[in-house]
Chains A and B, each alone.
Chain A
Amino acid sequence: MIDTSTQSKEKTRSFEEPVAKTKYFKSRKRQKKIGKFITYFLLILISIVLMTPLVWMVSTSLKPMEEIVQFPPTLFPETFQWENYTRTIEAFPFFKYARNTLFITFFVVLGNVVSNSFIAYGFAKISFPGKNLLFGLVLSTMMVPGFVTMIPQYILFTQLGWVGTYLPLIVPSFFGSAFNIFLMRQFYMSINDELIEAAHMDGANHLYIWSRLMIPLTKPALITIGIQSFNGAWNDFLGPLLYIHEEEMYTLQIGLQIFQNQSTTQWNYLMAGATMVLLPTVLLFFFAQKYFIEGMDLTGGTKG
């Protein structure tokens, strides 16, 4: 990164400093308390800053337009217009679009989690000729700006006859994506090779090692990829925009756009819709964390 040289120098100094600091040991309990206080203070302070756009979104979603255009803006609605939510749901087939979005998202998450874990294992734990070159190819796919290849790719999918279906949105995710392959590779690289060798000794092949040893060991990474590809697919706008031609098959992100047109924006409906679309991702993140904690440490056996 910025100063790799100083970092490696520092590492050689090892554990000398802590010894000098033993005098603090007695007051450790008090120190811990203060530490906890500071932690909470920081967490709450940053949380307030991070929450403000959300507060604004929800507040706007409950106001009538007459109130939204007024200055100075009110923090909380003067009149709560709950029917903004029902009107948003009625303005376009909300639940149908939600189902469509969920359908796409399900397969994209499945594809990403399985394929990237699979491919990255090959790059991280098996040696074969041309591996570095191939990995360079993986990285290079990230380097071409998307909208230069966008039109050629669209032409390709047209020729495959896939335009107008969900296939262009789903199928590629079963063949790995550079960012995730790279990420998974990094996780695998931290796993001790001895584990694999031991399994080899027992006669296990790579497929078995991958599915039985590696998948459980990389659970936090898989969940990370799962969360991120969920967000990617759930909030994807450009993909469905380009490839879906029938309103019946639209997704939520496209549906939300109907509140914006050339002269006016229905801020209250737009924000009501955005809040509803946001909710599943927030809930998913909140609950998926549980599996983070239950992840395993790589040096020893399982904990959960």
Chain B
Amino acid sequence: MAAKAVTKRKWTKKQKKEALWGLFFVSPFIIGFAVFMLGPMLFSFYGSFTNYNLTSKMDFIGLANFKRMFTQDELFWTSLYNTAYYVAFNVPLTAIGSVLLAVLLNQRIRGIRVFRTIFYLPAILSGVAVYVLWMQLLSPSTGLVNTVLSWVGISGPAWLFDPNWTKPALILMKLWSVGGAMLLYLATLQNVPQQLYESAEIDGASPFGQFRHITLPMITPIIFYDVVTSTIGAFQIFQEAYVMTESGTAGPANSLLFYNFHMWNKAFVAYDMGYAMAMSMILFVIVLILTFINLKLAPRWVHYGGGENA
């Protein structure tokens, strides 16, 4: 992010050449963006100021959608609250969970490849099998989770039947499938030179000390990536809630009615696509601000091994 120090006028020939190379490398993105994404994105932007219903209507109605959203739509605020709750817990917990798993799996011991494969399974397993499992694990009186809790004297909640506990249940479920992010950390950890650990061990560093002083700094670029993308992803949670609540009913007392869930209902149940597009603009702005903050905070804690170009 330091490139802006370069003065804009008076380019040397070398700088010019370098800039052309840069544009050359990013050109596929520019072309792909212009062809496949720019149109639909501009269309959605314009659509948010209309009563677009996909087939017969697209009249400009100014800010009416936004006004309705903030002043009349009860479920808009419910969905925003549910989503914010989910993001606040899901993002840090999955980041921590996947780092820990990756460290656990980054060992050269017998059978590690089998373990890694098993740990990655939840990332590729989805749908019914997983849902059935969780319904049973979280069953209030007979489920494994509450049974274990009862051993330590805790009377577990009704999980998916109690609106106060549906979101924690979902967060727990998502935590279970951190295999995807784990894979990224695992890939990064391959690049940490083994000698570093060996010399630290000779110095008597504890495993925790090694983790904190060697491993952690090396993986900060990927933690940063993970946090930024999973924040964006978590704001768009939809599928899990849709599958988990029978016939898309959004959970007891609408406790799993997430932002995108509500948007889906507006777009594909009510055919009120203009309104859904307006909702997506608000989400865009929220996520944009959070990402911007993330980018600004990054230099304080992300360590790139690459040098000044970072």
CB < 8 Å neighbour of A298 from B44, B120, B191: B191
Q: Is A190 an interface residue (CB 8 A)?
A: yes
- Per-residue CB contact flags for chain A residues 112-151 toward chain B (1 = under 8 Å, else 0) read 0001001101111111110110100111111111111101
CB < 8 Å neighbour of A175 from B25, B36, B92: B36
Question: Which of B59-67, B71-79, B159-167, B224-232 makes up part of the contact surface?
Answer: B224-232
Chain A residues, CB < 8 A from B304:
189-190
**By the criterion CB–CB under 8 Å, are B25 and A220 in contact?**
no
Give the distance to chain A from B23, nearest Cβ to Cβ, in Å.
6
Question: Which of B149-157, B248-256, B272-280 makes up part of the contact surface?
Answer: B272-280
Interface of A is mostly: helix
Give the distance to chain A from B119, nearest Cβ to Cβ, in Å.
6
CB < 8 Å neighbour of A156 from B39, B113, B212, B268: B39
- Report B1-35 residues with CB < 8 Å from chain A CB: 1, 3-4, 6, 8, 18-26, 28-33, 35
**By the criterion CB–CB under 8 Å, are B28 and A119 in contact?**
yes
Q: Is B308 an interface residue (CB 8 A)?
A: yes
Give the distance to chain B from A115, nearest Cβ to Cβ, in Å.
5
Give the distance to chain A from B16, nearest Cβ to Cβ, in Å.
10
Give the distance to chain B from A28, nearest Cβ to Cβ, in Å.
8
**By the criterion CB–CB under 8 Å, are A143 and B232 in contact?**
yes
**By the criterion CB–CB under 8 Å, are A190 and B203 in contact?**
no
CB < 8 Å neighbour of B204 from A24, A115, A231: A24
**By the criterion CB–CB under 8 Å, are A56 and B267 in contact?**
no
- Report A143-167 residues with CB < 8 Å from chain B CB: 143-149, 151-153, 156
- Per-residue CB contact flags for chain B residues 184-204 toward chain A (1 = under 8 Å, else 0) read 101110111110000010011
Q: Is B132 an interface residue (CB 8 A)?
A: yes
Q: Is A261 an interface residue (CB 8 A)?
A: no
Contact of A127 with B6 at beta-carbon distance under 8 Å, contacts A145-B280, A148-B280, A172-B36 already known = yes
**By the criterion CB–CB under 8 Å, are A152 and B109 in contact?**
no
- Per-residue CB contact flags for chain B residues 268-296 toward chain A (1 = under 8 Å, else 0) read 10000100110010011001100100000
Give the distance to chain A from B32, nearest Cβ to Cβ, in Å.
2
Chain B residues, CB < 8 A from A224:
183-184, 187
**By the criterion CB–CB under 8 Å, are A231 and B123 in contact?**
yes
CB < 8 Å neighbour of B193 from A35, A40, A299: A299
Chain B residues, CB < 8 A from A129:
6, 8, 19
CB < 8 Å neighbour of B29 from A14, A52, A119: A119
Query: Complex Cα distance A151/B276, Å?
Result: 12
**By the criterion CB–CB under 8 Å, are B92 and A1 in contact?**
yes
Considering only CB atoms, which chain A residue lies closest to B180 in the complex?
A228
Question: Which of A84-92, A94-102, A179-187, A244-252 makes up part of the contact surface?
Answer: A179-187
Considering only CB atoms, which chain A residue lies closest to B227 in the complex?
A1
Q: Is A106 an interface residue (CB 8 A)?
A: no
**By the criterion CB–CB under 8 Å, are A126 and B18 in contact?**
yes
Q: Is A300 an interface residue (CB 8 A)?
A: yes
**By the criterion CB–CB under 8 Å, are B232 and A142 in contact?**
yes
**By the criterion CB–CB under 8 Å, are B206 and A192 in contact?**
no
Give the distance to chain A from B121, nearest Cβ to Cβ, in Å.
6
Chain A residues, CB < 8 A from B8:
129
**By the criterion CB–CB under 8 Å, are B117 and A286 in contact?**
yes
Chain B residues, CB < 8 A from A4:
297, 300-301
Q: Is B56 an interface residue (CB 8 A)?
A: no
Chain A residues, CB < 8 A from B276:
148
Chain B CB count within 10 A is highest, among A50, A205, A221, A293, for A50
**By the criterion CB–CB under 8 Å, are B121 and A11 in contact?**
no
Q: Is A18 an interface residue (CB 8 A)?
A: yes
CB < 8 Å neighbour of A145 from B203, B260, B268: B260
Contact of A151 with B54 at beta-carbon distance under 8 Å, contacts A51-B118, A118-B25 already known = yes
Q: Is A75 an interface residue (CB 8 A)?
A: no
Contact of A47 with B116 at beta-carbon distance under 8 Å, contacts A124-B309, A129-B19, A292-B190 already known = no
Chain A residues, CB < 8 A from B129:
53-54, 56-57, 271, 274
CB < 8 Å neighbour of A1 from B114, B115, B223: B223
- Sample of 9 A–B contacts (CB below 8 Å): A51-B121, A129-B6, A143-B288, A147-B264, A153-B36, A181-B29, A183-B184, A186-B222, A186-B224
Extra inter-chain contacts (16) besides given A123-B25, A126-B19, A193-B307, CB under 8 Å: A1-B223, A15-B203, A24-B204, A46-B119, A57-B129, A131-B22, A139-B228, A140-B284, A143-B284, A145-B236, A224-B183, A224-B184, A274-B127, A295-B187, A297-B193, A300-B193
7 shortest A-B CB distances, which residue pairs?
A175-B32, A122-B25, A128-B22, A152-B40, A126-B22, A193-B307, A128-B19
Q: A residues bordering B, Cβ < 8 Å? A: 1-2, 4, 7-8, 10-11, 14-15, 17-19, 21-22, 24-25, 35-36, 39-40, 42-43, 46-47, 49-54, 56-57, 115, 118-119, 121-129, 131-132, 134, 137-149, 151-153, 156, 172, 174-176, 179, 181-183, 186-194, 205-206, 210, 220-221, 223-224, 227-228, 231, 235, 270-271, 274, 278, 281-282, 285-286, 289-290, 292-293, 295-300
